[in-house]
């Protein structure tokens, strides 16, 4: 297969390269950039010297539509304009930005503060939460790859909401992310001396992943919810851990909660149900496409603590995107992704 | 004043030394250790070379009761046995362990798994959450210095619960701490290579600070609550940030929430009400005795996000202990503590 | 191929698993442990849940000699006793400890403070600095995999010494390592709160890698040297950067130094000659088997700065060991190792 | 005393504030900024909320010359233009930039790539390496506060060179710094995700502190030297550790080396001679004005390893500047600086 990446210079792009490099079905990999076309990729990223030395190519429709699959890994607001004309030209498209995730254009414009993608293209896009939507992904011309936070939150919460084990009326989701989620552009908020040894909260009640999570809970678990969702910055590079809280439904036991997770993901190679709290941590999934999920009922209060853990750059971005490509192309989901987490 | 520290070799002890060293009312500082008596303090902690080279002293009742103030900074289960015979001998006692915080002995034994302190000594101990209990601290022979998490949680939540601005029936508290809270004893869970670049959850629903927080909410805000409280380990050394969630009472506005915090702490030098989310972070209080508090109402859901931030070793331990000493001794609360946070 | 790892629970073992898991010639992987036999591997290391759940096996000669290749990744002093009886039984052996690196038994005993391996086994061992000794490795029954520091130092220095471009009479080598080099056993020196945000020097002039480096310089570059070599601990998990200093020989130019490195490694897939100082850093090789080398002549002083950079756990341990296995077994050196560095 | 800081928004400025806040002789502190005049200081730096809320003042000669002491903490190239007209107007000046350190204007222009300060002002400036130049500092109208690296290097090397215990003809200095030395301006090279978990070398043989070190060795130790000096970036915020290497003179012993350091600094409160390698590390001086020095002779090679450790923002900048102010004003050197290192 011939594969391309638009916006390869971001961290999502780097991770796509890292995994596609080892993907046995990928024959060639072309890197596109709007602003840095012509520049050698390894001149920008010396860790790829000897691996990806060729110059980046300008974004060109003719070149792109010759490819089998194209990943778009650009900031929000770019692919809503770039991809519509590429849909249904025979090239499978996977968008890692937020532009095609929200089906409600008004909602996008409210939370992103940008113009939404055209309605007709939106209606053809499929939300690529692979474990929950593989059938639709299979035939999708355009996959909207989920956000990093929604992936960790939804994989841990959806089974329990869908099976009515927890009460969706008061869902509190407290999420924490490593700094790589902020991308590769320097700013005061990601300046080493002020980020290192600092734990902070950001975008209080305003994160654009809120409507994405609510839409997916409605879509996959049939519950219309208003979540409380906050995000924090952890002084580390990779990893998301989302801790959610909800009242369990009357009579629900710890065993039922755990069984629900086990049953839901019995055939999913990348979701692991962890039963020891001590085994939950971002380094257990680091560099891999795993999502570890955990639930613990507090008998004292009748509330459950539900945890989802991912590597934000892998299962939260590039890894899930390749998992979706595998589904679209009929490969095993694990092709190119069956790696051991780094741990240290 | 002549001051002593029992258990000086822990991190709480080190911070007591750091601040007492600069305290203008402290004339001498004696360091006691059960296991390391006779060893030079700076031989163990070379950063104190030239400052505290004298050998540590054995714990001796006669020596201790000659002092004006003694801080006990030992693990749980030690001071419950050590301090009872020292109470009311003329030496002011400040205990940084958890042994005298819970008035209910059964509760202590359930959550700590150790024998509780004698009831008569317990009844003389005063819970040293300075901003809320200074009058009682003033005359206390034995101050039970609050836990690190409870300090951050209570200072941010108490005003809002007391004034019935938030609904205490469903309180979710998601707390995060730097690794120094685990003390100075090496373990797999604090081994650098497995702690660095790892964010994890621990003691799910089982942290011994749960009953301490519930007791204080009852005591100071008159509400009997069952909190949901979880703790996470952040790959940094210092700092606690606790994010709490609750429904606000009908009609309550953001302005009321903020005003409540401002009014509560108008005369407290160490609590700062922060109104910009971007200004909340553990590095803003690092090395200082400040507690920064923040509240944000989400109009969409009617729930409030409430944040408390401290340096766990200062306001969460040594700093608050010295603040209590200042109150006990009639000094200004800021004596020896009026330092600028490090930030970087 | 059937492959085994003795001492799989160390960090070297974890990295062997990570790479062997993806090695297309490896059919089965058995994990041996002396102290933890019978325990599920993933119970100890939950990041491997679903991947390596089987119990570890006791170290058993009969079981081991049925394998094609066995890696020994145990502390110094263990394999010197364990491996002699396994040599020449048809199983290829690769030892990651220091026990078979020094051919001079007295030198081993002086620097390691342990009894050296038997002379006859030592004489059959081959020093596995792959780029410099592949011919000997090919036929070796027992490969002594190089130390982490020696790998970074030798790959950068050997070409310049061998070709007499730098003066070996005054070689200063200042090396820095991430904390994972200290292994997985907790100690005060690797306790997070005292290691984080601390840069320190250790084993001043006493590191056991000194004689290993000197032996290899003599063996591969024909120069008998007494190096000055010091090691420092960097508050990060992975990576070694070694900075060496030497006077260049009269008339030697920067171009000659760079050309020498380029020519030496023209056909070596894992050594990259970096020509921009800004492109040198441990994150450029993180998680990969690359060694980046760099040289810069200071015209002002006539001295060269020579840098070698590796991931200590990969090229400095498990990666190079697998590279040696590939050579022993006649596979391409890059088999199972052709991965893209993580960078972030 | 009335004190001012020009360029208060840099990290040097923040540390000046942190220490001057506690300095008993400082009655008022005015903060000046060229670009941010009028802005509230704590609006920019919320950790100072409640402490320094007043707006910054424009840089105004009349306002400045009313002060007793003014610190200039601006980037290189600014004070060379700003300070000349302020000299000898009755205000003591302490410049933390590099503009007045090099007496040779051509050397400044070569290494800094900027126009040098006027010769007549330069000739009035005194190099403020306090331990070695206090007599001159005492009467100085303008103190050129030393660079961070030179402070660590010179305090450790000068005694041994001056007393001819080491051979100055081949001095190798390998220095490592935390990231705060790069200042508060975001850049790719200080972006968290690319700086964290990365150890790198920078400005190979080109650091502008090279001529400063050489000038000081000539000035204070009477030796004209050409040093080899390289700098590395450590993924931590604070701290410099410089490791130097030199041949010792014939017959020199370890005891003589240590004695020389002890005798040199017998009366200096901020230099500590450390005799255990295990006690050397940047966290032992963190947040304090200490410089720890160490020397170890390697009998095997006849070479000495010499180490100097400081907090780059304190002894390497703001702390030493205040130490110089104390000398200029006739206060004890330790006034306002006698703090205990943070260690953790």
Task: CATH number of the domain at D250, please.
Answer: 3.30.360.10
- What percentage of residues in chain C have a pLDDT greater than 70? 100
| B35 pLDDT higher than 90 | no
The total number of residues written for chain B in this structure? 344
DSSP C201: E
In a domain, A179, yes or no: yes
Å between D84 CA and nearest CA of chain B? 32
- What percent of chain D is helix, strand and coil (3-state, nearest 5)? 35, 20, 45
| Cα–Cα distance, A15 to C343 (Å, whole number) | 10
**What mean pLDDT do residues D19-43 have?**
95
Confidence label for C247 from pLDDT (cuts 50, 70 and 90):
very high
In a domain, B96, yes or no: yes
- In order of A5, C336, D164, the CA distances from D273 in angstroms are 57, 50, 19
| D34 pLDDT higher than 90 | no
Cβ separation C45–A180 shorter than 8 A: no
Say whether A51 sits in a helix, a strand or coil: coil
List the single best residue of D179, D184, D192, D283 to mutate versus A (max A Cβ within 10 A).
D192
| Cα–Cα distance, B193 to A247 (Å, whole number) | 36
Report residue B164: phi and psi, to 5°: 55, 40
Residue C230, pLDDT score: 98
Encoded tokens for A262: 């086990």
Asked if ipTM goes beyond 0.90, one says: yes
Closest CA to C246 of C172, C310, C157, C312: C172
Q: At what angle do helices C209-221 and C105-112 cross, to 10 degrees?
A: 150
| D150 pLDDT higher than 90 | yes
Residue C341, pLDDT score: 98
Q: A191 and A92, same structural domain? A: no
DSSP symbols for C141-161: SEEEPPPHHHHHHHHHHHHHH
Å between A71 CA and nearest CA of chain B? 28
Do D11 and D73 form a contact (C-beta atoms < 8 A)?
no
B180 chain-C contacts, CB cut-off 8 A = 193
- Encode C211-263 in three state secondary structure: HHHHHHHHHHHCCCCCCEEEEEECCCCCCEEEEEEEEECCCCCHHHHHHHHHH
CA-nearest residue of chain C to B178? C193
| C279 pLDDT higher than 90 | yes
Cβ separation A21–C47 shorter than 8 A: no
Encoded tokens for B337: 């503590």
Encoded tokens for B296: 């944000």
Encoded tokens for B33: 């250790």
| Cα–Cα distance, C296 to C307 (Å, whole number) | 9
b/e code A262-299 from CB counts within 10 Å (16+ = b)? eebbeeebbbbbbeebebbbbbbbbbbbbbbbbbbbbe
| Cα–Cα distance, C222 to D129 (Å, whole number) | 46
Q: B160 and B283, same structural domain? A: yes
Do A198 and A178 form a contact (C-beta atoms < 8 A)?
no
C276 chain-A contacts, CB cut-off 8 A = 46
Name, in order, each residue with C-beta under 8 angstroms of B180's C-beta and a sequence gap of 6 or more. B11, B237, B238, B312, B313, C193, D344
Cβ separation D179–A187 shorter than 8 A: no
**What mean pLDDT do residues B64-88 have?**
96
Interior CA angle at C79 toward C74 and C81, to 5°? 140
In a domain, A77, yes or no: yes
**Average pLDDT of chain B to the nearest whole number:** 97
The total number of residues written for chain C in this structure? 344
Interior CA angle at A15 toward A9 and A19, to 5°? 130
Count the neighbouring beta carbons within 10 Å of the beta carbon of residue C120: 9
**Beta strand C28-32 pairing with C2-6:** parallel
Name the E strands within D96-207: 125-127, 142-144, 172-177, 200-202
Token look-up 């910055």 returns: A233
Q: D184 and D165, same structural domain? A: yes
Beta bridge partners of A49: none
Beta bridge partners of B272: B292
Closest CA to B56 of B39, B73, B70: B39
Q: Chains near D, with 3+ CB pairs < 8 A?
A: A, B, C
| D66 pLDDT higher than 90 | yes
| C34 pLDDT higher than 90 | no
Cα separation of the two ends of chain C = 33
Q: D287 and D156, same structural domain? A: yes
**Beta strand B228-233 pairing with B303-310:** unpaired
* pLDDT tens column, B116-167: 999 999 999 999 999 999 999 999 999 999 999 999 999 999 999 999 999 9
C132, HSE (Cβ side, Cα atoms, 13 Å): 23
Burial class (CB in 10 A: 0-12, 13-18, 19+), A6: buried
Cβ separation C184–B195 shorter than 8 A: no
Confidence label for D35 from pLDDT (cuts 50, 70 and 90):
confident
Q: B266 and B256, same structural domain? A: yes
In a domain, D344, yes or no: no
Q: Rounded to a whole number, what is the largest CA-CA distance in chain B? A: 63
**What mean pLDDT do residues B85-95 have?**
96
Cβ separation C193–B184 shorter than 8 A: yes
Do D260 and D221 form a contact (C-beta atoms < 8 A)?
no
Q: Which of B234, B239, B277 sits opposite A201 (nearest CB)?
A: B277
Cβ separation C192–B192 shorter than 8 A: yes
In a domain, D208, yes or no: yes
| Cα–Cα distance, C81 to C60 (Å, whole number) | 14
DSSP D189: G
CA C261 to chain centre: 20
D184 chain-A contacts, CB cut-off 8 A = 188, 191, 193-194
Count the neighbouring beta carbons within 10 Å of the beta carbon of residue D258: 18
- Which alpha helices (DSSP H) does chain B contain, by range? 11-20, 41-44, 61-64, 79-82, 105-112, 119-124, 130-138, 148-162, 192-195, 209-221, 254-264, 319-329
| Cα–Cα distance, C1 to C24 (Å, whole number) | 9
In a domain, D83, yes or no: yes
**Beta strand A228-233 pairing with A200-202:** antiparallel
Token look-up 């020097």 returns: C201
Q: Which of D14, D22, D343 sits opposite B343 (nearest CB)?
A: D14
The total number of residues written for chain A in this structure? 344
Token look-up 């601006």 returns: D74
Encoded tokens for B148: 């690190």
Q: A102 and A125, same structural domain? A: yes
Q: B162 and B210, same structural domain? A: yes
In a domain, B342, yes or no: no
H or E stretch including B247? strand B240-247
* pLDDT tens column, A163-220: 999 999 999 999 999 999 999 999 999 999 999 999 999 999 999 999 999 999 999 9
Q: B323 and B201, same structural domain? A: no
| Cα–Cα distance, B310 to B155 (Å, whole number) | 10
Burial class (CB in 10 A: 0-12, 13-18, 19+), D254: middle
Å between D78 CA and nearest CA of chain A? 23
Reply yes or no on whether A329 is catalytic: no
Q: D198 and D108, same structural domain? A: no
| Cα–Cα distance, C45 to B232 (Å, whole number) | 20
CA-nearest residue of chain A to B279? A200
| D123 pLDDT higher than 90 | yes
Number of Cβ pairs closer than 8 Å across A and C?
A: 80
CA-nearest residue of chain D to B11? D344
**Average pLDDT of chain C to the nearest whole number:** 97
Count the neighbouring beta carbons within 10 Å of the beta carbon of residue B185: 11
The total number of residues written for chain D in this structure? 344
Cβ separation B45–D343 shorter than 8 A: yes
C282 chain-D contacts, CB cut-off 8 A = 197-200
Å between C215 CA and nearest CA of chain A? 31
CA-nearest residue of chain B to D196? B197
* pLDDT tens column, C54-104: 999 999 999 999 999 999 999 999 999 999 999 999 999 999 999 999 999
* pLDDT tens column, D272-331: 999 999 999 999 999 999 999 999 999 999 999 999 999 999 999 999 999 999 999 999
Count the neighbouring beta carbons within 10 Å of the beta carbon of residue D253: 12
**What mean pLDDT do residues C36-52 have?**
95
**How many folded domains does chain A comprise?**
2
Q: Which of C201, C227, C237 sits opposite D277 (nearest CB)?
A: C201
Residue C287 φ/ψ region, left for φ over 0, alpha for ψ in the -120 to 50 degree band, beta for the rest: left
Tell me the residue range of the domain where D163 lies. 149-314
Q: C181 and C261, same structural domain? A: yes
Confidence label for C35 from pLDDT (cuts 50, 70 and 90):
confident
A343 chain-B contacts, CB cut-off 8 A = 194
Q: What is the CA radius of gyration of chain A?
A: 20
| B34 pLDDT higher than 90 | no
Q: Chains near A, with 3+ CB pairs < 8 A?
A: B, C, D
| Cα–Cα distance, D125 to D103 (Å, whole number) | 9
C197 chain-B contacts, CB cut-off 8 A = 237
In a domain, D337, yes or no: no
Q: Which of B199, B201, B343 sits opposite A239 (nearest CB)?
A: B199
Q: B130 and B163, same structural domain? A: no
Q: C127 and C153, same structural domain? A: no
* pLDDT tens column, D152-175: 999 999 999 999 999 999 999 999
Q: Which of B18, B238, B274 sits opposite D340 (nearest CB)?
A: B18
Residue A162 φ/ψ region, left for φ over 0, alpha for ψ in the -120 to 50 degree band, beta for the rest: alpha
Cβ separation A199–B241 shorter than 8 A: yes
Confidence label for A34 from pLDDT (cuts 50, 70 and 90):
confident
Cβ separation D193–A187 shorter than 8 A: no
């Amino acid at each position: 297969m011939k594969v391309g990446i638009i916006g390869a210079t971001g961290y999502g792009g780097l991770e796509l390269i890292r995994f596609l490099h080892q993907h046995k079905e990928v024959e060639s990999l072309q890197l596109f950039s709007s602003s840095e076309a012509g520049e050698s990729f390894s001149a920008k990223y010396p860790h790829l010297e000897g691996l990806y030395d060729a110059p980046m190519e300008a974004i060109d429709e003719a070149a792109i539509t010759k490819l089998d699959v194209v990943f778009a890994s650009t900031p929000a607001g770019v692919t809503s304009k770039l991809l519509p004309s590429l849909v249904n030209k025979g090239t499978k498209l996977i968008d890692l930005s937020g532009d095609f995730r929200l089906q409600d254009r008004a909602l996008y414009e409210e939370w992103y503060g940008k113009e939404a993608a055209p309605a007709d293209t939106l209606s053809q896009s499929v939300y690529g939460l692979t474990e929950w939507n593989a059938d639709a992904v299979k035939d999708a011309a355009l996959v909207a790859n989920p956000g990093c936070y929604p992936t960790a939150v939804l994989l841990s919460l959806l089974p329990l909401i869908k099976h009515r084990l927890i009460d969706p009326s008061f869902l509190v989701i407290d999420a924490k992310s490593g700094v790589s989620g902020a991308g590769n552009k320097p700013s005061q908020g990601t300046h080493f001396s002020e980020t290192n040894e600092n734990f902070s909260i950001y975008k209080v009640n305003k994160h654009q992943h809120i409507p994405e999570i609510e839409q997916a809970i409605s879509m996959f678990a049939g519950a219309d919810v208003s979540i409380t969702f906050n995000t924090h910055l952890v002084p580390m590079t990779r990893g998301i851990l989302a801790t959610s809280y909800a009242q369990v439904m009357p009579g629900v036991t710890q065993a039922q909660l755990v069984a629900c997770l086990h049953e839901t993901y019995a055939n999913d190679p990348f979701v692991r149900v962890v039963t020891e709290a001590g085994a939950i941590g971002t380094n257990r999934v680091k560099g891999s496409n795993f999502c570890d999920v955990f639930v613990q009922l507090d008998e004292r209060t009748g509330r459950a603590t539900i945890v989802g853990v991912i590597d934000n750059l892998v299962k939260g971005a590039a890894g899930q995107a390749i998992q979706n490509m595998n589904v679209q192309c009929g490969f095993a989901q694990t092709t190119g992704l069956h790696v051991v987490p780094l741990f240290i």
